[in-house]
């Protein structure tokens, strides 16, 4: 669009990085990154898959969903954990980019060239955000946490309005927001290649069907090992189980937050920024749409 392209150009980054920053890979970020990449396949995959598995889902999914699940008294711990997790995103993305560079990623038999320059230059916008967050947490922690909570409420309101407009368009055909993507498959969509909102929600639900029982069984069968892990991290066994559950989906973890100790709440929220959905939604999405990046 007219905003991300000139801003990212000035910073020396590909405009597609905006997609992975604001949208999860399985919530439109992957395909939006492709549109903004301008034919640069490596930048598309770097943003749509790697960055779109960390920053994007945190902004568009984890924050608004968590606010609807956790106790109001736990919102400060959510804010502190998420902000701390955001600081580490550039490290994770650079590591993921280096792995992709040395893994020989290919699409349709053609190699995708990940270079040091691409990996580092495209991290500049994200690094700026991470540095600002880190400085804010150090010098004005209370204002940062309060600002985060205001942003989260605004995000929930924005998503609610967008969902309502999408439903009205589907049921009545009234286009309240011009250019809004349909929530169901539209003419021209190819099954298995394009995932609309309802399909994404359905795939997430399928993962959650097993995620909740998994958490129950983990806490019941592996209580002693989890307690040992908890001791290493100085958190209780519920917090340790929450971290394991997060690898599939962070919704069960948010449901357990009220049973965690304070340190465990912050660590789980920070861990979820980069680790959430790694073995669940994101693995399934990547295997269906770009298995070369697994």
Q: What are the structural domain ranges in the chain?
A: 4-293
pLDDT of the residue at 146: 85
pLDDT of the residue at 134: 85
- Percent of residues, the chain, with pLDDT higher than 70: 95
pLDDT of the residue at 69: 92
- pLDDT greater than 80 at residue 53: yes
pLDDT of the residue at 51: 96
What would the 3-class secondary structure string for the chain be?
CCCHHHHHHHHCCCCCHHHHHHCCHHHCHHHHHHHHCCCCHHHHHHHHHHHHHCHHHHHHHHHHHHHHHCCHHHHHHHHHHHHHHHHCHHHHHHHHHHHHHHHCCEECCEECCCCHHHHHHCCHHHHHHHHHHHHHHHHCHHHHHHHHHHHHHHHHHHHHHHHHHHHHHHHHCCCCCCCCCCCCCCCCCCCCCCCCHHHHHHHHHHHHHHHHHHHHHHHHHCHHHHHHHHHHHCCCHHHHHHHHHHCCCHHHHHHHHHHCCHHHHHHHHHHHHHHCCCCCHHHHHHHHHCHHHC
- pLDDT greater than 70 at residue 208: no
pTM of the model: 0.84
pLDDT of the residue at 3: 64
């Amino acid at each position: 669009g007219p905003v991300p392209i000139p801003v990212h150009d000035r910073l020396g980054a590909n405009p597609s990085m905006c997609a992975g920053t604001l949208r999860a890979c399985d919530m439109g970020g992957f395909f939006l990154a492709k549109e903004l990449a301008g034919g640069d396949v490596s930048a598309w995959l770097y943003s749509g898959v790697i960055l779109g598995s960390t920053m994007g889902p945190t902004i568009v999914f984890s924050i608004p969903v968590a606010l609807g699940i956790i106790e109001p008294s736990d919102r400060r711990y959510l804010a502190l954990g998420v902000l701390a997790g955001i600081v580490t995103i550039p490290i994770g993305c650079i590591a993921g980019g280096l792995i992709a560079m040395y893994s020989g990623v290919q699409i349709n038999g053609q190699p995708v060239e990940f270079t040091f320059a691409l990996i580092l230059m495209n991290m500049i916008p994200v690094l700026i955000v991470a540095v600002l967050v880190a400085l804010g947490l150090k010098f004005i922690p209370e204002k940062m946490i309060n600002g985060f909570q205001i942003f989260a409420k605004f995000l929930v309101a924005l998503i609610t309005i967008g969902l309502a407009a999408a439903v009205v368009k589907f049921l009545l055909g009234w286009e309240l927001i011009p250019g809004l993507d349909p929530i169901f498959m539209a003419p021209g969509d190819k099954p298995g290649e394009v995932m609309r909102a309802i399909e994404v929600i359905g795939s997430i639900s399928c993962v959650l069907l097993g995620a909740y029982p998994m958490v129950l069984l983990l806490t019941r069968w592996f209580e002693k090992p989890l307690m040992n892990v908890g001791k290493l991290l100085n958190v209780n066994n519920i917090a340790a189980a929450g971290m394991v559950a997060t690898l599939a989906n962070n919704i069960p973890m948010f449901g357990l937050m009220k049973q965690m100790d304070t340190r465990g709440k912050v660590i789980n929220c920070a861990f979820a920024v980069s680790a959430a959905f790694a073995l669940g939604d994101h693995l399934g999405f990547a295997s269906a749409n770009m298995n070369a990046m697994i």
